Amino acid sequence: MGTEIMIIAGLGNPGNEYEFTRHNAGFWALDVLAHKFKTEFKQDKYNSLTCTFNFRGQTHTLVKPLTFMNLSGDAIAPLMRREDLLPQELLVIADDISLPPGKVRLRQSGSDGGHNGLKSIISHIGQNFWRLRIGVGQPYTAETTQHRQLVSHVLGKISSEEGDVFQKILAEMPDLVRMWLIGMGSKAMSKYNSLNYNEKVEDVLKPRKNDE
């Protein structure tokens, strides 16, 4: 890997009501990449928003499935077949409740980790594709607060504090993706997986007075 055509897919749910929800972290990342690489999304026949960009002599594709999260694989798999790509030539960017806000984790393969979008993709092409997980944390719990359901959490809109943290992470996306495209995925893992973009992760999801 390093010079071949690649696909970078960001997972999320279509529609204005989901735009700023935690589950759409993958869409945010793709928007940043499209802006950086000076390209614009258009709807294609595979029920996705796609665009292409050139990097070091190769044309690569950005993909935002419009199938809703649980059917992400239905949109990505046909694109993979059209380009005759192997699973390892795909990078999927998605949210992760097991990571706190401020953390990312790049891996070369693995399970779905309870993420329905990744589960759908795995059902089509197997586990051996790259994935970048962006931490969105779990609902803050304490004796004085009521436990929030995970579904409500990932479909909830981010706070201003979370937004500041995600902006720091998203600013790193172009450089991380460039490293992956030139075959430096392992070095990208070493560099980015150890970073923490929020030194006060325990406070980010703490409910404010008007949330309690």
pLDDT confidence of 140, banded at 50, 70, 90?
low
pLDDT confidence of 82, banded at 50, 70, 90?
very high
Average pLDDT of the chain is: 89
Which CATH number is associated with domain 7-211? 3.40.50.1470
Residue 208 above 70 pLDDT?
no
Q: Are strands 104-107 and 130-135 parallel, antiparallel or unpaired?
A: antiparallel
pLDDT at 169: 95
Cβ–Cβ < 8 Å for 192, 48: no
| Strand ranges across the sheet with 90-96 | 42-43, 48-55, 58-65, 7-10, 90-96, 130-135, 104-107
Structure tokens at 78: 């046909």
3-state secondary structure (DSSP) of residue 66:
coil
pLDDT at 4: 73
Q: What is the pLDDT of residues 97-108, one digit of tens each?
A: 999 999 999 999
Q: With CA atoms as reference, report the closest residue to 90 among 103, 81, 100, 102.
A: 81
> What is the DSSP secondary-structure string of 86-107?
-GGGEEEEEEETTS-TT-EEEE
What's the predicted TM-score (pTM) here? 0.88
Question: Which residue did the predictor score with more confidence, 203 or 105?
Answer: 105
pLDDT confidence of 139, banded at 50, 70, 90?
confident
Residues identified as active-site: 23
pLDDT confidence of 200, banded at 50, 70, 90?
low
How many CA within 13 A on the CB side of residue 6? 26
pLDDT at 148: 53
